[in-house]
Structure 1
Amino acid sequence: MPPPLWQGLVRKTPSIAPLANRGLLSITGSQSTDFLNGLLGSSVQEPVRNQFSTGRVMYDVFLYATTNGYLLEYDMAPSEAVSLSSYLKRHVLRSKVKIRSATEEYDVWAAWGSTKDHEWETKRHWHWERSGAVEPVWNGSPSWPWGTGEGIILDRRAVGMGRRLLVRKGEHPQDSSTHDIVPTEEYVLHRIIRGVPEGAADIVPMQAFPMESNLDIMGALDFRKGCYVGQELTVRTYHTGVIRKRILPVVIQKLEQGVQISHTPPLPLNLDIKPVIEKPGPRPRGSGKILSNQKGVGLALLRLEHVAGVQKGDLRFDIVDGENATNLTAVPWWPEWWPREPDTTSST
């Protein structure tokens, strides 16, 4: 269950928010499906949300099917990665594919919290690998669980995320008459509370690994499809590697008082999270990073062994800025919907 301090941050009414800094590319042509299937980490067959996977992630993207191709949504924030348009065009070669910007044609919105946003949810089932990789198994769902409505994605990255909508530039979604219209920051808070990383702030281009960024848990990776860019490293990690880090939600507290803080503006991205010994034991190695954060809660990339130590009371997470302590600590927790590892110690 979420920590009690989080309860006051959860919106209780149906809400809809415009999503800032989102770009769109139109991908059309008779070979557009095969073209995208060779570049994305998930199968491209129907309306689908995917993420790029190149061993390290370049972009996490949403893919919408249209009548003549696809619209690909991505984060336009500057990063170390080559521009998405340039990257795609580099791979067109002789394929019958056309790529153009559609950013000026559509706005991206997120809607959540209404009966409509919950009625399509189904019970989560999971497939575990020895590496710690986890895949959702969509028992009882349609053949493609992300929905088939044009310009609409059922956001199954986590329970309660709602829907993602494309709307003609300058217009409001139909849901705006029945939902509270809230700023983008409320959507960021909404996904933080559910443990969902998104965009360059959380899934750092050219640095983040797919499974450490929870792309497996969110249903963004197909480990059984044919060749695509970055497949070798991703599949090898899935079968024979060990996943040592995950992005988890955290409560940001004052170190001494244990009181949740509310920062305006939020903490800077990528501040170090240092594991500190609370009880005698071996010195922990490595550190974590603060990612998106709002109103004293955030996401953080953490070593799983350190998270276990914090939960046992052996460690705490101090937030530091360079060499300087910030007098803040990060307290991680597992979202209620998060997959629970099956008990392998039971006799069979």
Structure 2
Amino acid sequence: MGTAFLDDRGIVEVEGPDARALLHRLVTSDVTRLASGEIRYAALLSPQGKIAADFLIVEASPPGGPDRFLLDVPAAQAADLAKKLTLYRLRADVRIADRSAELGVTAHWPDGPGARDPRHPDLGTRAIGPRSDGDSARRHTYEAHRIALGVPDGGRDYAFGDAFPHDANLDRLGGVDFGKGCYVGQEVVSRVHHRGTARKRVVPVAFDGRAPAPGAEITVNDVAIGTMGTSADGRGLATVRVDRAAEAAGQGAPAVADGVALTLSLS
């Protein structure tokens, strides 16, 4: 079994009688049906439908106590997410705090303590605990596991404030509930989904030897089709223009990033 402390993850706490209702009206997933101890993948969008932050919501309400949710979010986004949620709070009876200095996230695969990561059945489980208990020595192994399963990491495989949920595969990873009511940015997401007009996607890539640098431009016959994200052990993730990548694949033209030949998986 693999275990790794994810030292680049932070925790935002949302607690209070109105916590569930507040999150449900703001984020892309259905929070009303989130059971105790369960994890759900979600994002907070801009009014234009772009991802401001993505996170895993953990239902952590104490027995008989008020609703309490822990948002497992990239640490670099935690303070900003807490601020944005506070702005949306209005008169709701909710307390919002960045708890990243105290709490952290440990991943276990194929199984272990905590709750199952909903983004992929083979990704494993995640547990939130005191940050001082964390050991990140096996972080590279977890990264290789995540990348091999094709699960992107927000802020590294796509840019916050620039990507739509479909660009980052939230629709395929359980991060968007198309049956729930309104939330911030919902109209844009619904339009893209029902029209099938997603122009970009994060896709798996494979390569031999040196890994291309994150952010490196991917070209086919000197035409840009996307950018590289994270890589590990001969595999990586990249954001590509779906139409250009498909056209290049149909012509048998090679894709290159940072001088490294890539094999793209578009299925």
Range into which the TM-score falls when normalised by the shorter chain: 0.7 to 0.9
Letter in 1 for 2:106: W
Question: Residue 311 of structure 1: CA displacement?
Answer: 3.9
The 8 Å contact of residues 166 and 198 in structure 2, kept in 1 or not, is answered as yes
Per the alignment, in what secondary structure is the counterpart of residue 233 of structure 1?
helix
Other-structure match for 1:274 = 219
Taking every aligned residue pair, what percent have the same amino acid on both sides? 28
Does the C-alpha gap of structure 1 residues 184 and 96 become closer, same or farther in structure 2, counting only changes over 3 Å? same
Structure 1 residue 298 corresponds to structure 2 residue 236: yes
Q: Name the CA distance, whole Å, in 2 between partners of 1:111 and 1:213.
A: 23
Q: Name the CA distance, whole Å, in 2 between partners of 1:299 and 1:216.
A: 17
Question: Residue 191 of structure 1: CA displacement?
Answer: 0.8
TM alignment of 1:250-329, pairs within 5 A: 250-252=205-207, 260-263=208-211, 267-276=212-221, 286-319=224-257, 326-329=258-261
Letter in 1 for 2:170: L
232-241 or 304-313, larger mean C-alpha shift: 304-313
Q: Name the CA distance, whole Å, in 1 between partners of 2:120 and 2:230.
A: 17
Per the alignment, in what secondary structure is the counterpart of residue 43 of structure 2?
coil
The 8 Å contact of residues 270 and 291 in structure 1, kept in 2 or not, is answered as yes
The 8 Å contact of residues 152 and 164 in structure 1, kept in 2 or not, is answered as yes
Other-structure match for 1:121 = none
Q: Name the CA distance, whole Å, in 2 between partners of 1:169 and 1:191.
A: 22
Return the match for 2:177 from 211, 222, 234: 222
TM alignment of 1:22-171, pairs within 5 A: 22-45=9-32, 46=34, 47=38, 48-54=40-46, 55-67=49-61, 68=66, 69-77=68-76, 83-113=80-110, 116=111, 152-171=114-133
Question: Residue 53 of structure 1: CA displacement?
Answer: 3.0
Q: Name the CA distance, whole Å, in 1 between partners of 2:213 and 2:259.
A: 15
Per the alignment, in what secondary structure is the counterpart of residue 16 of structure 1?
strand
Return the match for 1:212 from 167, 178, 187: 167
Gaps of 5+ in 2: none
Per the alignment, in what secondary structure is the counterpart of residue 25 of structure 1?
strand
Letter in 2 for 1:295: D
Does the C-alpha gap of structure 1 residues 156 and 29 become closer, same or farther in structure 2, counting only changes over 3 Å? closer
Q: Name the CA distance, whole Å, in 2 between partners of 1:275 and 1:318.
A: 7
Other-structure match for 1:236 = 191
Question: Residue 246 of structure 1: CA displacement?
Answer: 1.3
Does the C-alpha gap of structure 1 residues 309 and 212 become closer, same or farther in structure 2, counting only changes over 3 Å? same
Per the alignment, in what secondary structure is the counterpart of residue 59 of structure 1?
strand
Letter in 2 for 1:101: D
Other-structure match for 2:264 = 332
Structure with greater Cα Rg: 1
The 8 Å contact of residues 16 and 182 in structure 1, kept in 2 or not, is answered as no
Return the match for 1:193 from 143, 148, 162: 148
Letter in 2 for 1:195: G
Gaps of 5+ in 1: 1-13, 118-150, 174-180, 253-259, 278-284, 320-325, 335-339, 341-348
| RMSD after superposition | 2.4
Letter in 2 for 1:268: A
Larger strand percent? 2
The 8 Å contact of residues 79 and 98 in structure 2, kept in 1 or not, is answered as no
- Write out per-residue CA displacement over residues 222-260 of structure 1, whole angstroms, 9 at most, x where no aligned residue: 1121111111111111112412221111113xxxxxxx1
The 8 Å contact of residues 25 and 102 in structure 1, kept in 2 or not, is answered as yes
Q: Name the CA distance, whole Å, in 2 between partners of 1:305 and 1:315.
A: 14
Per the alignment, in what secondary structure is the counterpart of residue 53 of structure 2?
coil
